[in-house]
Every structure is written in C-alpha cells, then in structure tokens.
Amino acid sequence: MSDKYKNTDYDHKSVEKKWQEVWNKEGTYRAEISKAINKHYNLFMFPYPSAEGLHAGHAFSSTGSDVYGRYMRMNAKNVFQPMGYDSFGIHPENYALKTGEHPTTMLGRTIKHYENQFRSLGHGYDWSKTVTTSDPDYYRWTQWLFIKMFEKGLAYKKKAEVNFCPSCKTVLADEQVISGLCERCDSEVVKKELEQWFFKITDYAERLLNGLNEIDWSQRVVKAQREWIGKSGGMIIKFKKEDSDGEIEVFTTRPDTLNAVTFLATSRMYEEGSKEKEGKFTGGYAISPLDGRKIPIWDVNYVAPGYGTGIIMGVPAHDERDMEFAKKYQIDIIQKEPDESLWQELEKQKIGRKQTNYHLRDWLVSRQRYWGTPIPMISCPKCGWVSMPEEDLPLVLPTISDYKPEGTGRGPLANHPEYYKTKCPKCGGDAERETDVMDTFVDSSWYFLRYPSVGLNDVPFNGEITKNWLPVDLYFGGAEHSVLHLMYARFVTMVLYDLKLTHFEEPFKKFFAHGLMIKDGAKMSKSRGNVVNPDEYISKYGADTLRLYLMFMGPMDGYPDFRDTGIEAMQRFVFRLWRLFNSKTEENNDPKVDIKMHQTIKKVTEDIEQYHYNTAISAVMEYVNMLYEYKPTRKNLEVLALLLAPFTPHLCEEVWNNILGNKESIHLASWPKYDPKLTQENKTVIIIQINGKVRSQLEVEAKLGQNKEEIEKLASSDPKIEEYLHGKDIQNLIFVPGKIINFVLNA
Ligand code: ANZ
Ligand code: ZN
C-alpha cells in the first residue's frame, strides 16, 4: 500500500479530471460494435439541448442509467451506452429566439456544454457514436423515413381542424393539449382548419396494444399506453329521423341501455377542455328503434367529433355526463335496468352492428415552424404530392434569419421562394416544396436505430449491426414520455419491421420510468429559485459525492428530495471511505466481517438489478461501519471498491489502481461473487428516530441489535442521521433493544 495518501485529504478535482482523461484516451467505454456477443444496449433518453446546460434532474436520472450500464459491464457484458441530442424542434428554437441567436449558433455552444457536463459527471458513454438530430447526416434519414411512410401509404395530407396555440404560433398534437391548454405555455388552444401531414398510427392500434404484453416495462407506462390506445368494444346503432328518410348512427359501448335513451347528441358544439356542459336543441327528432319513442336531437359541447360516429345516444340513467346534461336542460330521465339481451337482439334485427373503437388518433407530424426536419415532399399541379428521390437527400434546411413564426398558418419557409420553388421529380414541371417541417417526435422515433451505425453514411442503419445490437436492452427515461415518444418509437419500429428493415417489432425490451427529483421539498423551478445547477455541486463536492448522494436520496422511481445538508453529509462519508481505503489492512480478521462482506455483495447485487440503488448504498454503509470496527483485509477493501465502482467511478478507479495496485480499469473488472453459504441471515431492523420521527433504519445481526453502545455508534454514523446530529447536542437517548433508537436533540 502506498504511503503517499496517509493523512492526505481526498482531492476530488484532480482525481476526477485525471480518470476522465484516461478513460477517454483508452476508450474504456467504447463498445466493440463488431463483436456483439453478450451485448447490453443501455439507452438513456437523449436531452433537448434547449437551455445553457443540464439541470440536476438530468444528473439524477442519467446517473441511474449509468450505474446500471457500469454494473452490466462488470458482469462481462459488452455494453453499448451512447448519448446524443434531440436538437430540432420548438424547445431549442424558442430558446434561440430568447437568446437572439440563430439556433445553429446557440446549439454549437449549448451542446458542447451538455457534453462537458455528461463527461464531468463521469458517465461511461461511448462518445464515438453520438447523434445530433439537427445534423444533416442524421436528418437525411429522418427524411428517408418520411418517404418510406409515404410510399407505404402511411403518410397523408388532409385538411383538418387542428389544435393551434396562438402563443407558440404552431399546431399541437392532441397529446400536447392538456385540458384545453398548450402543454408548453399554458395558453388557451384554439381550433384552426389547416392542411396537415399525418402518419397513420391508427392502422397499428391493435398491434401496439398487443405488443404491450411482450415487453417488460414500468407498469404505469403500460397502463398509460393502453388507455391512450383506448380500445373499446361497442356497437353502432341506427336511429331513423322523424321527419325524413334520413338515418342517424350513434356509437355506444352500452347498447344494453338503449331502452333508457332520452336524447341524441351531436358534436357540433364541441369544445376542447370546457367543463360546464352546454347544448342547444336542434328542433329535430329521431325515433327509438326499440319502442318508437320520439327522441330529441341536441347539439352539445361534450361529444367529440372524430370519435365513434361523433353522435351519441344520451342515457341519463346510466351515464353521469348525460345525467348532468339532462338535469340542466330538463330532458326526460327514464329509469330502466340495462338489458344484456339487446346485444344479440339489435344485431339480429340489423339495427346495430358491433364495432371496435380506438381513442388513438393519427399522428399529426407537420409543424408550421422553422427549426425542424424539412419535409421531403413536392406538390406538383399535375402529379399531386410527389416524394423527393432518395439520392437527392438531404433536403437541407436553409439558414434564414427571419425564422420567427408569424402564426399565419404557414411556416417561415413559405416566405422563401428560393427554397420552395422547384421542379417536379416526376414530370419536370414547375412545382413547390412543402414548407412545413416535421414534429420533433419523428426525429426521436428512430434515433436508437442510428446509434450503433453512426459513421455509416450510405444507410440509416446497417442490417448486420442492427441485427447484433437491437433491440435496446434497457431504456431509462421519464414517465412523461409514456404516450408520445414511446408510442411513436414503437409504431415506427413496427413499420420498419413490415418493410423488412428490422427483425423485431418492439424497440425497447425493458423500459424503466425514473422519478422526479425535487429540492427542499418542492418542485424545482426558476421562479422558486431552487434550481440545482449540477456544475456547482460537482465543483464543490465532486462528481462521485454528487452521484452517490443522488442515488442515495430515495427510490429511483420516486420523488427524492435534494438537500444541501444531505450532500454535505455524503461528502463526509466519501472522506470516511477514503480514509478507510488508506488505512492499514490486516491479513486475517474476525470471521464476522467475511460474513458481512458476502451478505453485502448479495444485497447490492440484488438491489442494483431492481434499480434499488438507495438500499444498495445503505448496505455498503453498514459494511463500511463494520470495516472501521474490525480493520479490513485487502480482500474486504477490494470488494468495497468493486461494489461502489458503479456509483463513485473515479474514487474507485483511483483506489483500484493506486492503492490496491491493479493495472486495468476497475470498470472492466469482474463484479464480486458471494458465497451463498455465508449469506444466511439472522437479522433485525432497528428504526432510527430523531426527536421521535423515523429518519432511517439499520439492518444488523440480531445479537448486535441488543447492544446499546454498538447501535448508537452505527446509527450516528449513518449519513442521514449524521446530517441531523451535526453540530447538535444529544439530550437524551432512548433505546428499545432490537427495535428502536431515538436521539432526542435540543432545538
Ligand atoms: C350510451 C351509454 C350509456 C354510454 C352508458 C356509456 C355509458 P369509450 O369507452 O370511451 O369508447 N361516446 C360515444 N362517442 C362519443 C364521442 N364522440 N364523444 C364523447 N362521448 C362519446 O366510451 C364510449 C361511450 O362514450 C359511448 O357509450 C357513448 O356513451 C360515449 F351507461 O352510449 B355511451
Ligand atoms: Zn409533376
């Protein structure tokens, strides 16, 4: 063991910088793309570079993904962990408008900063395989994808009433309208009739639904996708009009309630997000097919056009919305029990026909903005819509300065004849390019296919490489993408499968939805002034302390609370680790320590596999306590370094090389194995309280749990507890053997 560390404090700045340079130089995290045996494709959702840099939420979630990737690498997996930038779209464009720069200039700066931050966090990305969606080398293939969609009849243009945000001056997909308001700026969304491009995702509704049974995803995300697809089995029922030969068809999931219908309602007054039910009697009547009753026809605001037939049968007795409406307008209410036999009856008499409906709508992919992938379509007066020849791609987005949206219903490119005036690829006559650009979700719908093939310029993704590396083994990302990005990526993958370009229908075998980090008990926001800038914390405490603290705060899928006092306590723990690694080792110690070591390996292994990083770290802390008490063997320290390597990669690399004297990177070393004979437990859990409030817990040998002094010692060195004790006097200590230890502190 080297002497030079004795009594020296741990200098995170020089250690972290040194190892980041070494990893970069030696390509420690480069995947061997050509050698795909035992592969693990570890993907994290790439960010929008639409601010000066990453925020602490990114640091939290990306560390969660990195820990898993590092763990898999130490388990002999050939890990591929890339990073890139979702750099087109309204988020970066708005940010550029704010800073008064052209998006290209702005992104040149911010992307560099994002990359430096990812590096300074110590993440093990393969930087030789990065994608930037606004780069022509990338978006030429997004355009290629659009053309494939068009050729397959899955891209079409139609006049549609669309959601329009007057403040963002653009069209929004249904998913981007949250109870009538724009998801980005909260302005009230209005309806506009515009010609729009759509992708026919509805053709895939049933497959998108069935595929959910095949994948291992966070259950809340699966549930959100099911609901978004919204399959319902129902019936279309025909009503005759009273005064003409006309017929009205309604869609219902409850034909068994037809005997209690008292009105029909059309969608003619439909409004998005309105709460109060409104309506107007049309003056017309229909005839109930069951008993010939006269049924008034109303126009109402709560029936949506474009779902079912856009007309409903109102059954106040069995439907709450209809009841509310009927009461308000004094429409009859008939109390009759539902009649199951009507399902058969109505079909037999040809009054009704069974129909399956989906809530899923076609994906609106055109945007009247500037900063997006240009749509490679040409409108010819003779030939109609013609796609560009593939060999002419990329269709480069021109650099223009008047890119601010005007809200006229046409994008800024429509002011640039030098861009849109062209010739028809079919007949050679005068024609015009589409001036809308694509929704950013098209860019991100296929980026995971590009990563392993980055550098190949003649194909979007190489067949052999794709066969070897896809699907993604673990996708780590935010639950807010449950229905947009994750649905679109699945859809696009299925289309490519049908085109025989991929061998799988589901792109992400596993998806883990991480939680959201908060600060001092509240959501982070600029107005609250509680936004955590990871750079400051890395500089003050080091990336390892930050990583360890982020992973220790709470469950990865919860709402962990970031507190400055917490990270300070974690820094003291990191120093404690450092002193331990630098202490003298023994050749043999108490057999208890060996048992604890094997139990810790088991616990950390099992916890990491379930992303329970916080409890894995707690187990390591208990082990550290024991090593302080009994003096470690060299083996004990080796195991400690290995178990912590995914969490504190720099410190462990330093220890591995310069204290334990190994030659290769700890991150390429093997994960420790435990001996099952040594891990059988006889344990109790001691609850640790501060002033009667539960603050942490200890898992200890049953016998040890009876010992007041020992438990006091262990409990006070738990960083969560240390944080409370720091600088305070203990007035009283209450100990219930085997159960509770309560520190009573003065105020
Ligand atoms: C009569 C009835 C009686 C209904 C009852 C429900 C309960 P899901 O499951 O979402 O498919 N509906 C049909 N078309 C609609 C539209 N365009 N806008 C708003 N509501 C519409 O729900 C289908 C049910 O929602 C249909 O069944 C219809 O109301 C209503 F006790 O018909 B029901
Ligand atoms: Zn033509």
Q: State pLDDT tens for residues 522-544.
A: 888 777 778 889 999 999 999 99
Confidence of residue 416 (pLDDT cuts 50, 70, 90): very high
Average pLDDT, stretch 276-300? Answer: 96
d(CA 395, ligand 2 centre) in Å: 18
Q: Are 598 and 605 in contact (CB under 8 A)?
A: no
Instruction: Please report, rounded to a whole number, the percentage of residues in the chain having pLDDT higher than 70.
Output: 98
pLDDT for position 7: 40
* Pocket around ligand 1 at a 6 A CB cut-off: 232, 251-254, 257, 267, 303-304, 307-308, 310, 312-313, 315, 318-319, 357
pLDDT for position 164: 86
Substitution site in 252, 269, 272 for ligand 1 pocket (most atoms within 8 Å of beta carbon): 252
* Torsion over CA: 213, 216, 219, 223 (sign): negative
Integer-rounded Cα radius of gyration of the chain: 31
pLDDT for position 8: 54
How far apart CA 672 and CA 639 sit, in angstroms, is 7
Instruction: Please report, rounded to a whole number, the percentage of residues in the chain having pLDDT higher than 90.
Output: 81
> Residue of the nearest CA to atom 12 in ligand 1?
312
pLDDT for position 272: 79
The 3-state DSSP class for residue 699 equals strand
How far apart CA 31 and CA 20 sit, in angstroms, is 17
How far apart CA 67 and CA 46 sit, in angstroms, is 17
The DSSP call for residue 508 is: B
Average pLDDT, stretch 118-137? Answer: 98
pLDDT for position 60: 96
User: Residue 407: is its pLDDT beyond 80?
Assistant: no
Substitution site in 319, 333, 346, 355 for ligand 1 pocket (most atoms within 8 Å of beta carbon): 319
Which pair of structure tokens corresponds to residue 252?
A: 């219902």
Substitution site in 226, 254, 271, 339 for ligand 1 pocket (most atoms within 8 Å of beta carbon): 254
d(CA 170, ligand 2 centre) in Å: 30
Q: What is the pLDDT of residues 301-329, one digit of tens each?
A: 999 988 899 999 999 999 999 999 999 99
| DSSP sequence for 384-431 | EEEEPPGGG---PPP--S--S---SSS-GGGG-HHHHEEE-TTT--EE
Q: What is the pLDDT of residues 616-626, one digit of tens each?
A: 999 999 999 99
Confidence of residue 1 (pLDDT cuts 50, 70, 90): very low
Would you give the distance in Å from CA 627 to the centre of its chain? 39
**To which H or E segment does residue 172 belong?**
strand 170-172
d(CA 46, ligand 2 centre) in Å: 40
Confidence of residue 2 (pLDDT cuts 50, 70, 90): very low
Average pLDDT, stretch 501-525? Answer: 93
**To which H or E segment does residue 347 belong?**
helix 342-348
Q: What is the pLDDT of residues 221-256, one digit of tens each?
A: 999 999 999 999 999 999 999 988 899 999 999 999
* Torsion over CA: 617, 621, 626, 627 (sign): positive
Average pLDDT, stretch 539-556? Answer: 97
How far apart CA 539 and CA 546 sit, in angstroms, is 10
d(CA 378, ligand 2 centre) in Å: 9
Helices (DSSP H) in 75-196: which residue ranges? 90-99, 103-120, 136-151
Measuring CA to CA, which residue among 372, 375, 360, 364 is closest to residue 487?
360
d(CA 251, ligand 1 centre) in Å: 7
Measuring CA to CA, which residue among 512, 493, 635 is closest to residue 67?
512
d(CA 363, ligand 2 centre) in Å: 27
Distances (CA, A) of 542 to 71, 566, 661: 21, 14, 23
Average pLDDT, stretch 263-276? Answer: 87
Strands of the 363-364 sheet, one edge to the other = 170-172, 155-165, 190-199, 363-364
Average pLDDT, stretch 205-212? Answer: 97
Ligand nearest to the CA of 252: 1
Please give the mean pLDDT across all residues of the chain.
Answer: 93
Q: What is the pLDDT of residues 173-202, one digit of tens each?
A: 777 788 889 888 889 998 888 899 999 999
As to burial, measured by CB atoms within 10 angstroms (0-12 exposed, 13-18 middle, 19+ buried), residue 291 is: exposed
Average pLDDT, stretch 561-578? Answer: 95
pLDDT for position 3: 39
Lowest-pLDDT range, 164-168, 175-179, 500-504, 661-665?
Answer: 175-179
* Angle between helix 613-630 and 591-609 (nearest 10): 170
Q: Bigger pLDDT: 729 or 23?
A: 23
Measuring CA to CA, which residue among 59, 60, 79 is closest to residue 69?
79
**Atom of ligand 1 lying closest to residue 306 CA:** 17
Ligand nearest to the CA of 270: 1
The 3-state DSSP class for residue 78 equals strand
